[in-house]
Amino acid sequence: MSSSPVTTAGLSPLSTLCITPNVALDRTLVVPRFTLGGACRADHVYTTIGGRGLNVARTLASLAKANHSAGFIGGASGNMAARSAAAEGLTATWSHIGGETRASLIILTGPTEAGPAQATIITEPGPVITDREWAQFEADVTQLAHGRSAVCICGSMPPGSPPSARQRLQAVVAGHGRPVWVDSGGESLAQANIAPTLGLKLNAEEAAAATARPVQTVTDALSAAQWLAARGIARVAITLGSQGAVLVVGHKGWYARPPAIVARNPVGSGDCFLAGLVAALGEGSRSDDALRLATACGTANALATRVGRLVASDVTRLAAEVAVHQIGLL
Ligand SMILES: O=P(O)(O)OC[C@H]1O[C@](O)(CO)[C@@H](O)[C@@H]1O
């Protein structure tokens, strides 16, 4: 294994470090008439670097906020992914591995008169990481986290990562009281080092898995967020798709309802939401204003076919249309 020399020279110390251990090469097919088991034709194909932290990074970039990415990259698909990041102007320090970066297939269909756009996403497990590669990654990330304003640890862990991979990453990036956000699946609570700087961002399915309770409605999400906050997580955000999102900070909670839109691609809206939250909180915004921007970013993402390419005027317009209410905790 070889690793890019890590250097923080020239990087903005106020930037957010977006860690995506399981980088993906996202191949999005726009298929007007998609049927399972049928022979379907795509109208358009887009191939870009993906993975939750990369979507956070490109959203931060479209909000003109400094960011830097880190993740494992390997093989031909890894090279393509790295080139795609560079072509978008995303700065990154990659930890090179012997395995092959995974691909994700995203099939977009609609919207039609019959209903909204549907996204089907198939993700591969990812390359198997060796102990040596993981150790190098931890060392890279430790160095890259130095002086950042916030760190996001996003998405699934590739096979071969240590069982306590998220805890370890959290431990090495913790420091100077900077916020650390974890955005990942159901085991994230068990793997989170509960710390006063920890933020957790989950979708409804992940929140249900983390709390072992159904999360379908705003009330369910509020109750799950409150349950997680009671375990010492400083900020808990749960997204509910077109229903909006809740944010619980200590003993206070807020609900944001987005305006109704015709969604073209819901994939990555949760990642864009996190970017909005991190950007607003990093500027010292109040929790309700941060939730408003986050919800506007998630909604703006759904308006476009390509993930995370937010149009600033859409975000501003949508933010004015998001209704944010403080809600009494249950
Ligand atoms: O890290 P996970 O949860 O496996 O998901 C990865 C996939 O999700 C996305 O980040 C969208 O949220 C895609 O860009 C990527 O292919």
3-state secondary structure 194-247: CCCCEEEEEEHHHHHHHHCCCCCCHHHHHHHHHHHHCCCCCEEEEECHHHCEEE
Q: Is residue 240 in some structural domain?
A: yes
Beta strands 323-327 and 252-257 are antiparallel
Its sign, for the CA torsion 73, 55, 221, 231, is positive
Looking at residue 111, its pLDDT comes to 80
Looking at residue 110, its pLDDT comes to 81
Give the 3-state secondary structure percentages of the chain, helix then strand then coil, rounded to 5: 35, 25, 40
List Cβ neighbours of 84 (8 Å cut-off, separation of 6 or more): 25, 47, 48, 49
- Tens of pLDDT, residue by residue over 228-240, are 999 889 999 999 9
For residue 271, the ligand 1 atom closest to its alpha carbon is 12
Q: Please answer whether residues 42 and 66 qualify as being in contact, where contact means their C-beta atoms are separated by less than 8 angstroms.
A: no
Q: How confident is the model at residue 9 (pLDDT cuts 50, 70, 90)?
A: very low
Domain residues for the domain of 137 are 16-327
Is residue 119 over pLDDT 60?
yes
Looking at residue 197, its pLDDT comes to 86
CATH number of the domain encompassing residue 99: 3.40.1190.20
Looking at residue 205, its pLDDT comes to 94
Query: Which residue's entry shows tokens 């990154």?
Result: 92
Q: Is residue 236 in some structural domain?
A: yes
Q: Is residue 214 in some structural domain?
A: yes
Q: Is residue 5 in some structural domain?
A: no
Q: How confident is the model at residue 192 (pLDDT cuts 50, 70, 90)?
A: low
Q: Of 102, 99, 95, 80, which Cα lies nearest the Cα of 23?
A: 102
Is residue 11 over pLDDT 70?
no
Mean pLDDT, the chain, rounded, equals 91
Lowest mean pLDDT among 34-38, 125-129, 289-293, 298-302: 34-38
Looking at residue 117, its pLDDT comes to 84
Polymer length of the chain: 330
Q: Is residue 8 in some structural domain?
A: no
Q: Quick one: which H or E segment has residue 139?
A: helix 131-145
Q: Is residue 10 in some structural domain?
A: no
For residue 50, the ligand 1 atom closest to its alpha carbon is 14
Number of domains in the chain: 1
Contact 155 CB / ligand 1 (< 6 Å): yes
Q: Is residue 4 in some structural domain?
A: no
At 106 the three-state DSSP class reads strand
What does the CA dihedral 290, 294, 300, 304 come to, rounded to 10 degrees?
150
At 4 the three-state DSSP class reads coil
Distance 212 CA to ligand 1 centre (A): 23
CA–CA separation, 32 vs 112, rounded Å? 9
Residue percentage of the chain with pLDDT more than 90? 79
- Tens of pLDDT, residue by residue over 73-87, are 999 999 999 999 999
Distance 37 CA to ligand 1 centre (A): 24
ipTM: 0.98
Its sign, for the CA torsion 101, 147, 315, 322, is positive
pTM of the complete model: 0.94
Q: Please answer whether residues 229 and 221 qualify as being in contact, where contact means their C-beta atoms are separated by less than 8 angstroms.
A: no
Name the token pair of 269. 């809206």
CA–CA separation, 222 vs 245, rounded Å? 9
Lowest mean pLDDT among 96-105, 169-178, 202-211: 169-178
CA–CA separation, 145 vs 65, rounded Å? 16
Contact 51 CB / ligand 1 (< 6 Å): yes
Contact 52 CB / ligand 1 (< 6 Å): yes
Q: How confident is the model at residue 174 (pLDDT cuts 50, 70, 90)?
A: confident
Q: How confident is the model at residue 185 (pLDDT cuts 50, 70, 90)?
A: confident
Looking at residue 61, its pLDDT comes to 96
